[in-house]
């Protein structure tokens, strides 16, 4: 069941390990299509001020989508193979 907005992550600076203070919203691009759409919107918004960041965000989102699509294709392949094995077993049992 969706929980809405709540404290889920603590964010630290990579260089120092210190906790980052302020209002922070963490997005999980590899699993959440809404997060990817938010990253696209951010890229559009910052493009004029920071083109390298916008380009990097768009590449990151595309890569996450390719990985997600590949994972879905692998899952479908495994389901098909399992279904074929079950059908073959049922046919041989009759």
Tens-binned pLDDT, residue by residue, of the chain (94 aa): 888 999 999 999 999 999 999 999 999 999 899 999 999 999 999 999 999 999 999 999 999 998 888 777 888 888 888 888 888 878 888 7
Distant-in-sequence, close-in-space partners of 2: CB < 8 Å, separation ≥ 6: none
The values of phi and psi at residue 22, to 5°, are 125, -175
Ordered by start, the domain boundaries in the chain are: 33-93
Packing angle, helices 33-46 and 51-93, rounded to 10: 160
Compute the distance between CA of residue 64 and CA of residue 27 in angstroms, rounded to an integer: 12
The pLDDT value given to residue 27 = 94
pTM tops 0.85: no
Compute the distance between CA of residue 94 and CA of residue 6 in angstroms, rounded to an integer: 55
Say what the pLDDT of residue 79 is.
87
Q: What is the DSSP letter of 23?
A: -
**What pLDDT, on the 0 to 100 scale, is given for residue 12?**
94
């Amino acid at each position: 069941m969706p929980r809405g907005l709540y404290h889920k992550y603590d964010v630290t600076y990579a260089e120092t390990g210190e906790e980052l203070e302020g209002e922070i919203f963490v997005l999980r691009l590899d699993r959440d299509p809404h997060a990817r759409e938010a990253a696209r919107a951010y890229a559009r918004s910052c493009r004029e001020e920071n083109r390298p960041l916008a380009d990097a965000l768009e590449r990151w989102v595309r890569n996450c989508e390719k990985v997600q699509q590949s994972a879905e294709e692998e899952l479908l392949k495994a389901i098909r193979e399992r279904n074929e094995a079950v059908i073959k077993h049922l046919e041989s049992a009759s």
